[in-house]
Amino acid sequence: MDVTTSAKQAGALHRLGQYALFVQLTLRAVPSREWTVASVVDQAGIIASRCVAPVSLTMAPFGAVIGIQGMAILSMFSAERLLSNLLALFTVRELAPVIAAVLVAAQAGASFAAELGAMKIKEELDATTVMGVDPVAWHVVPRVLAMVGVVPLLTVIACGVGLLGGYGVAVGMEGQAHGVFVSHLVDNLTVYDLGAAMLKGAIYGFLIGTIACWKGCRVEGGAAGVGRAVNDTVVLCVMFILVANYLLSSLLFGATGAA
């Protein structure tokens, strides 16, 4: 039993080391400029077109649910006017970046893993090397840069839609005054909060892009291998996002949590 556990731990550390090496190769390929801005824009458009609707349609009910539960709790203390405070802090700081990133991982990240996996099976990545072009710079870097650029924008959209969902419950259903809601929202939502949310989005985008491309470029075993890569991509991305969210929240808001 101990031998099996040790072997699993060693395998996990080995895979983590492989991922770290892949990240290093990706970062080293960025200054090479073997990639093109047009390819980054193309990938960014693909990510945005696939993910804007899921992010918006998911965050609206999340914001509404926070509004419903928040009103129920705050009404116990006759503090319903503080609902927008709760929405501003929880939605912008925590929920919107995580939900946006998870949905991007499930949609665009899985797609990247499948695309590169199919190219790996068809030996297109090897053909790129034969032509004297770095496959990491040509195929991976544009996808990673697109993720880093688009996920923060999707995070902002998620923030806005989530706040609108909470606004609809507070003002439209519970009858809270528009001015009270907006006033508390403006007083508590700072540029720092929005900037921190976008920073989280950029970091999550980098994680999604590198994990998806790493799994896609390592596909083995034909179509079944592609399926495993897609599944592993989503699972690993969600795990890394949740762990990173805790670390980033502790770093960015730990000293200002009482403010």
Do 94 and 253 contact (CB within 8 A), yes or no?
no
Is 195 inside a domain boundary? yes
pLDDT tens for residues 181-234?
888 888 888 899 999 999 999 999 999 999 999 999 988 888 888 999 999 999
Q: Is the pLDDT of residue 123 over 90?
A: no
Is 213 inside a domain boundary? yes
Is 71 inside a domain boundary? yes
The pLDDT confidence band at residue 257, using thresholds 50, 70 and 90, is: very low
Is 232 inside a domain boundary? yes
Task: Identify the domain containing residue 197 by its residue range.
Answer: 38-252
Tokens of 158: 């998620």
Closest Cα partner for 82 from 176, 14, 146, 10?
176
pLDDT tens for residues 14-73?
788 889 999 999 999 998 878 889 999 999 999 999 999 999 999 999 889 988 888 888
Closest Cα partner for 93 from 184, 182, 199, 183?
199
Do 151 and 46 contact (CB within 8 A), yes or no?
no
Do 23 and 123 contact (CB within 8 A), yes or no?
no
Is 193 inside a domain boundary? yes
Cα-flanking dihedrals φ and ψ of residue 120, to 5°? -65, -45
Do 99 and 160 contact (CB within 8 A), yes or no?
no
Is 130 inside a domain boundary? yes
Is 24 inside a domain boundary? no
Q: CA–CA separation, 60 vs 157, rounded Å?
A: 10
Which CA distances in Å does 23 have to 51, 137, 140, 177? 24, 12, 10, 50
Using CB atoms within 10 A of its CB, is residue 89 exposed (0-12), middle (13-18) or buried (19+)?
Answer: middle
Number of separate domains in the chain: 1
Is 172 inside a domain boundary? yes
pTM of the model: 0.90
- Between 151 and 179, residue with greater pLDDT: 151
